[in-house]
Structure 1
Amino acid sequence: MSELSDAVRARLKAWTYELGGPGTRARLDKITAPANEFGVDPYGFDLDFAVAAVAPLTWLYRKYFRVELHGVDNVPAEGRVLLVSNHSGQLPFDAAMIEVALLVQKDPPRVVRALVERWVPTLPFVSTFMARCGQIVGTPENCRRLLAADEAILVFPEGVRGLNKPFRERYQLRRFGPGFMRLALESGAPIVPVGVVGAEEQAPALLDLKPLARLLSFPAFPITPTLLPFPLPARYHLHFGEPLRFTGSPDEDDAELERKVAEVQAAVAALLERGLAERKHVFW
């Protein structure tokens, strides 16, 4: 069984290298896996596992969503950083595409830790898989430790309010929560705004069956023209803005904190506006 598992992992890794294009293996070999004094990642991240597991997502990235990158060099090559993005599409393919972009296409590559909701670890098998791929529950303490270790964190301040919004409200940002700004001020980490264009059209939500969502303990149960989790092949455009740096205390008054949060939200909105104006069609 172990030999079979090793063979499958090796084949998946080869698929990642193939889909990533020339130089992918050499770029990925540059990554140093995060580890504590005992030589392991305290959150369960396994770089070798992640490179294999990302193969199907890399296929989606290259062949299905045909992702186009804009401004990826705005993401620092090293050091702590917060990537702050809009969120949409019913299922978090937007997070996956951002992570694949920075792992497979950026040179040198960056491992990005996406923050997940507290209910995700309650899902059988999914929680272990996501942990081994580097995802973490978005508690302040987890974020502080990762930023102190100079890692990159992907944050969606809209949360599920953005992910599950109805199609008629596409590309209308929900109000950003202030938690990411407190972390940035506390750690001195720059904020890179990210605008994702395309995810809104992958699974248009016609309505949300809230009673069924409550029964299943889900944040939402959207009804879409597609059969979730199968998205439509909308073309993705990922826009990375210039890093924003803020100074001040994480305990400053709410008005000042909200002003800074609004500045980041405006930067994401501007990326979305530009991306929507530049794209020629939803699907090509």
Structure 2
Amino acid sequence: MNHATRAGSEANPVNGAEAQVIPLHGPGREKPAEVPEQAEERVDAPVVDFPAQPSGPVREPAADPLSESVRSALTFLRHRLTGDYAVDEFGFDAELTETLVLPPLRALYEKWFRVDTFGVENLPKAGGALLVSNHSGTLPLDALMTAVAVHDETGGRHLRGLGADLVFKLPLVGSFARKSGQTLACNADAERLLTNGELVGVWPEGFKGVGKPFSARYKLQRFGRGGFVSAAMRAGVPIIPVSVVGAEETYPKIGELKVLARLFGLPYFPVTPFFPLLGPLGAVPLPTKWTIEFGEPIRTDDYGPDALDDPMLVFTLTDQVRESIQHSLYRRLSQRRSVFRG
């Protein structure tokens, strides 16, 4: 057998010769210890980068607002049918106000007048306070919008407004006003509400303010004898000045029909550029841009019991509140660029 045949036979195990194993570690070196199977899998396993988990809290899916509205409506209807709802001593029905009154007013507040609020930190989260505001706009929409602002900015507190006698003499309006938290503008009712820790709203200008002509806009009328100051002093609660800009232009009053006012028993029957000329369409308020500012509280608990008998002190505090509101109105008006855009 030649050399080629012998080499082929040694390299070919099929022909009966064993194949030569050449150690990879080379001659004179020991074979390294075998790597454990588990460790070998860790080395050879591919590294996979998983996406990082969010560091913040996991948010639950947002609740369906339509479903919440339906559940709220069904709960309200069940309570109405079973009589399982509460009314306080003044006739205030909180559930009815939350379900039927505030939602449409909130839509007007957010979408139509686009109200901006300032000084909400001056609204107490608990305890009584007397909110004193300017009054304007031919119809008292400013009182309603202020009630929405107080409710939404305090996490659910209701503004208990003090209304004129006429409000409670009107058919249906008086009963509805009672159920939505309004009560008669008298010191006795105001003191009881304030002592009970309620937020009470008062508009000292009355019909003189809300019914003043457009030419006198943002000029505060007389505040009366300061009865609201006496009520706050007796209850020992702060007085919060409130200034509303934007309500004056919703129904610009350019005149009034005194004959119709006497006929319907109203303090005035307004004439605006659109009403009564356009009929019911003229009763739609103009979409002016509003701002509501809650001023710094004026404390009344520092005065002794004898202070109530001091008419000059009561007059001074009344004038202080009035001047605070007037200055706030002028400041906001100077910053306003447009009636409709703010």
Residue 45 (structure 1) aligns with: 92
Residue 316 (structure 2) aligns with: 259
Runs (5+) with no aligned partner, structure 1: 1-9, 18-37
Question: 2:134 touches 2:209 (CA, 8 Å); kept in 1?
Answer: yes
The CA distance in 1 between the partners of 2:216 and 2:68, in whole Å, is 39
Whether 2:180 is the aligned partner of 1:133: answer yes
Deviates more, 1:164-173 or 1:214-223: 214-223
Return closer, same or farther for 1:128/1:120 CA change in 2, 3 Å cut-off.
Answer: same
Question: 1:226 touches 1:232 (CA, 8 Å); kept in 2?
Answer: no
Q: How many residues were matched structurally?
A: 253
After superposition, the C-alpha distances for 1:23-68 in whole angstroms (9 at most, x for unaligned) are: xxxxxxxxxxxxxxx9640111111110122111111001000000
Return closer, same or farther for 1:13/1:75 CA change in 2, 3 Å cut-off.
Answer: farther
Whether 2:270 is the aligned partner of 1:222: answer yes
Residue 69 (structure 2) aligns with: 14
Residue 167 (structure 1) aligns with: 214
Match for 1:258: what amino acid?
F
Return closer, same or farther for 1:103/1:244 CA change in 2, 3 Å cut-off.
Answer: same
TM-score under structure 2 length normalisation: 0.70
Runs (5+) with no aligned partner, structure 2: 1-64, 73-84, 276-281
The CA distance in 2 between the partners of 1:12 and 1:96, in whole Å, is 27
Match for 1:230: what amino acid?
V
Whether 2:116 is the aligned partner of 1:68: answer yes
Q: CA RMSD in A?
A: 2.2
1:204-223 aligned at under 5 Å gives the runs 204-223=252-271
TM-score under structure 1 length normalisation: 0.84
Q: CA deviation at 1:265?
A: 0.3
After superposition, the C-alpha distances for 1:172-218 in whole angstroms (9 at most, x for unaligned) are: 00011211111111111100000000000010110122332122111
Return closer, same or farther for 1:107/1:75 CA change in 2, 3 Å cut-off.
Answer: closer
Question: 1:80 touches 1:151 (CA, 8 Å); kept in 2?
Answer: yes
1:1-284 aligned at under 5 Å gives the runs 14=69, 40-52=87-99, 53-104=101-152, 106-177=153-224, 178-227=226-275, 229-246=283-300, 247-248=303-304, 249=306, 251-284=308-341
Higher RCO (CA 8 Å, separation ≥ 6 residues):
1
Structure 2 SS opposite 1:115: strand
Return closer, same or farther for 1:11/1:179 CA change in 2, 3 Å cut-off.
Answer: farther
Question: 2:161 touches 2:181 (CA, 8 Å); kept in 1?
Answer: yes
After superposition, the C-alpha distances for 1:200-248 in whole angstroms (9 at most, x for unaligned) are: 0010110122332122111111111233642111111001101011325
Structure 2 SS opposite 1:154: strand
The CA distance in 2 between the partners of 1:88 and 1:65, in whole Å, is 15
Deviates more, 1:129-138 or 1:242-251: 242-251
Deviates more, 1:40-49 or 1:166-175: 40-49
Q: CA deviation at 1:95?
A: 0.5
Question: 1:13 touches 1:51 (CA, 8 Å); kept in 2?
Answer: no
Structure 1 SS opposite 2:165: coil
Return closer, same or farther for 1:39/1:47 CA change in 2, 3 Å cut-off.
Answer: closer
The CA distance in 2 between the partners of 1:196 and 1:232, in whole Å, is 16
Deviates more, 1:58-67 or 1:213-222: 213-222
Question: 1:79 touches 1:150 (CA, 8 Å); kept in 2?
Answer: yes
The CA distance in 2 between the partners of 1:51 and 1:147, in whole Å, is 21
Return closer, same or farther for 1:199/1:257 CA change in 2, 3 Å cut-off.
Answer: same
Question: 2:87 touches 2:94 (CA, 8 Å); kept in 1?
Answer: no
Question: 1:12 touches 1:55 (CA, 8 Å); kept in 2?
Answer: no
Query: Rg bigger for which structure?
Result: 2
Question: 2:162 touches 2:185 (CA, 8 Å); kept in 1?
Answer: yes
After superposition, the C-alpha distances for 1:138-160 in whole angstroms (9 at most, x for unaligned) are: 12211111111110100001111
Structure 1 SS opposite 2:126: coil
Q: CA deviation at 1:11?
A: 7.8
Q: CA deviation at 1:13?
A: 8.1
Identical amino acids, percent of aligned pairs: 41
Question: 2:133 touches 2:325 (CA, 8 Å); kept in 1?
Answer: yes
The CA distance in 1 between the partners of 2:130 and 2:119, in whole Å, is 16
Question: 2:128 touches 2:195 (CA, 8 Å); kept in 1?
Answer: yes
Deviates more, 1:43-52 or 1:56-65: 43-52
The CA distance in 1 between the partners of 2:284 and 2:163, in whole Å, is 21
